[in-house]
Amino acid sequence: MAEPTPQARITELRDELNRHNYNYYVLSNPTISDQEFDALLHELATLEAAHPEMFDANSPTQRVGSDLTNEFEHIVHERPMLSLGNTYNREDVSEFYQRVKEGLDGDPFEICCELKYDGLSISLIYEDGQLVRAATRGDGVRGDDVTANVRTIRTIPLSLRPGTGFPNRFEIRGEVLMPWERFNALNHERELREEALFANPRNAASGTLKLKSSAEVARRRLDAYLYFLLGDDIPATTHYERLLLARKWGFRVSEDVKLAHSLEEIYAFIDYWDKRRSSLPVATDGIVLKVNSLAQQEELGFTAKTPRWAIAYKFQAEQALTRLLSVSYQVGRTGAVTPVANMEPVLLAGTVVRRASLHNEDVIRSLDLHIGDFVRVEKAGEIIPQIVGVDTSRRSGKDGEPIAFITECPECGAHLIRYEGEASTYCPNDTRCRPQILGKIEHFISRDAMDISSLGPETADSFYSRGLIRNVADLYNLTVAEICGGYPSRIISARKIVESVEQSKKVGFDRVLYALGIRFVGRVAARQLARTFRTMDVLKAASEEQLQRAEGIGQTIAKSIVAWFAQDDNRKLVERLREAGVQMEMPEEVTSGDALAGKTIVISGTFAHHSRDEYKLLIEQNGGRNASSISSKTSFVLAGDNMGPSKMEKARSLGVPFVSETEFLLMLGEKPAQQPSLF
């Protein structure tokens, strides 16, 4: 096959890097290592430099990857949050050192050596000693406003100690982390619920900080290390002095910082932590080197993307070679079938590894795995083992045949299917396959669904093994005597379970619909379906075309709903839940008035008298319509505290008026305690 032209290779690399950026920043589920990503990015940058006619402002080389979401207000950073250039070898470190020396015309300089923490970059703004805003790095120019969630992190001070000399206003940047202890505990919880495990603490921290529930964020106990102080009135002339000031003001700043005066001292710092980093309570993936003098930093300046006075040295992932003995298959709660490699035990990064996930059929094919192969194993994020290659030179004629993905479910024997556009293979027998049945029960009892809080996943598993339940409808037939099983000591907990099941009958129809676990029907879709079709009977009778008329319901969801109700077992399940007293229709919507009739309203910021969800309901009850983004059709913005600058700017540019919380409530006839308007 002919080699692709440089132009074709540039296009191919851009598509591949964009896909990896999405996996890493949006899904928090990287599929290649940082080193592999950097190698692809470097190849693209080299090709683009040689072919300037292929310039594209949207090329991955022109921007920092984004972790922006649509769930949070977006904030424009006062100063761009640039990324650092990465290197994986001493030669690059030496070249960086020489560039600094030449850039400073031979003047003496110090390098501040710090640990590179593997978490989520954060920017914190303090005014008069108070935390006023926290934002993720996002795309480097804008980030997500995660102030409410950051306030739950105990190592981030909400108020600074008076008398410690902090300026009136400053910014401090750092990394939000999930300690190893909490990460392992969280993954253990998820494993018991048969939920997908976080690949590493960085992904866990990122996923946690983007949760809507600050209470859940607090429960997971995130940590933070701060390492970069910015401001106009900070009494320090070096980066190291600023770190000491930040520590004095009450911030967690690493003690493991060293000032190096030579290349040899830098190498010694790298070698020391390459061996000892596994003993740290949080994940690190390298070393950061910064010119210490702020004046020299300014003299060296920046490239378009990175500072010339700093670089990140990233540790190599440890690999081991071992023999593949067999491949087994696990069925998850959604029916996804995951292949698992069983290997001869091998010591890797301080632990003995025997098993590694192979993810899906495509991974097996790409590796061209044979039973008996010698495989290279490394720990993704230094926690989850994965096979990254095969030593084909050691393959002999005695080794087994290529591994073929199974065609039947290992749990129930059903023929497996693979949906178009998906990498995973599924068992479709969701009413007879034990892992899927347990998964449905665990989903049904979860907090966001029926909220049967006294019944956990382990107890549900026990009930299934004892034959007390076979599907979610059986929960409503449970008795205290059955749960106790002749053990009087279980009476109190049994009563709580029965009471909790009884209480779930009051849960609204939209959450009941979500609790059924219909594929692709999440909480938002379930609420929209419930409000559009009003009753289970009307929904059950709806065609694909009718379903797609509901806002936010596309063809995929519509097909899934029709297919679900087409199964006799599912229709019988619904009838049993109806007979048990579970809600099967939406109550008549209460209309408070028409004060907002014909108005389209965008909510932004935080409020004192009601939550954002409560305000959305008030808008609908008074004839108004909620919108998520500002346009020329927006009637006004209901503006609370900490409104996002981007929305504020867009509203002003379009001439959309702002209405304060107090003014809004007065429009509806409420008279709250007067609060000053910000606009």
Tens digit of each residue's pLDDT (9 = 90 or more) over 73-89: 888 888 888 888 888 88
Per cent of the chain over pLDDT 70 is 91
- Could you confirm whether domain 600-667 is CATH 3.40.50.10190? yes
> Looking at domain 318-429, which of 2.40.50.140, 2.30.110.10, 3.40.50.11900, 3.90.1150.10 is its CATH number?
2.40.50.140
pLDDT band at 645 (very low <50, low <70, confident <90, very high): low
What sign results for the dihedral spanned by CA atoms 534, 538, 540, 541?
A: negative
Global pTM value:
0.53
- What is the model's pLDDT at position 237? 93
> Looking at domain 6-62, which of 1.10.260.40, 1.10.287.610, 3.40.50.1970, 3.40.50.720 is its CATH number?
1.10.287.610
- What is the model's pLDDT at position 525? 86
pLDDT above 70 for 391: yes
Q: Enumerate the CATH 1.10.287.610 domain ranges in the chain, comma separated.
A: 6-62
Q: Which CATH superfamily is domain 434-580 in?
A: 5' to 3' exonuclease, C-terminal subdomain (1.10.150.20)
Beta strands across the sheet bearing 223-230:
130-136, 120-127, 169-177, 223-230
Q: What is the pLDDT of residues 413-426, one digit of tens each?
A: 999 999 877 788 99
Annotated active-site residue 305? The verdict is no
Average pLDDT, the chain: 86
What sign results for the dihedral spanned by CA atoms 20, 24, 30, 32?
A: positive
- What is the model's pLDDT at position 195? 67
| Rounded mean pLDDT, 463-485 | 93
Those residues whose C-beta lies under 8 Å from the C-beta of residue 227, and which sit 6 or more positions away, are 114, 117, 173, 174, 175, 243, 253, 254, 288
pLDDT above 60 for 516: yes
Range with the poorest average pLDDT among 127-141, 202-216, 221-235, 488-502:
202-216
Note the CATH architecture for domain 74-314. Answer: 2-Layer Sandwich (3.30)
Those residues whose C-beta lies under 8 Å from the C-beta of residue 270, and which sit 6 or more positions away, are 90, 93, 113, 287, 313
For 257, half-sphere exposure in the C-beta direction (CA atoms, 13 angstrom radius) is 23
pLDDT above 70 for 672: no
Better pLDDT: 104 or 54: 104
- What is the model's pLDDT at position 677? 34
Burial 332-354 (b: 16+ CB within 10 A, else e): bbbbbbbbebebeebebeeeebe
Say if CB 424 and CB 336 are below 8 A apart: yes
- What is the model's pLDDT at position 29? 64
Q: How far apart are CA 192 and CA 453, in angstroms?
A: 16
Q: What is the pLDDT of residues 523-543, one digit of tens each?
A: 878 988 998 899 999 999 999
Bridge partner residues of 378 (DSSP): 319, 386
pLDDT above 60 for 381: no
Q: Enumerate the CATH 3.40.50.10190 domain ranges in the chain, comma separated.
A: 600-667
Q: What is the pLDDT of residues 302-348, one digit of tens each?
A: 886 789 999 999 987 778 899 999 999 999 877 889 999 999 998 87
- What is the model's pLDDT at position 592? 62
Annotated catalytic residue within 116, 314, 440, 647: 116
240-254, 394-408, 415-429, 656-670: which is most confident: 240-254
- What is the model's pLDDT at position 486? 81
Q: What is the pLDDT of residues 589-599, one digit of tens each?
A: 655 678 898 89
- What is the model's pLDDT at position 383? 63
Q: How far apart are CA 53 and CA 643, in angstroms?
A: 42
pLDDT above 50 for 435: yes
- What is the model's pLDDT at position 337? 93
- What is the model's pLDDT at position 501? 95
Residue 489 Cα distances to 100, 480, 616, angstroms? 72, 12, 47
pLDDT band at 69 (very low <50, low <70, confident <90, very high): very low
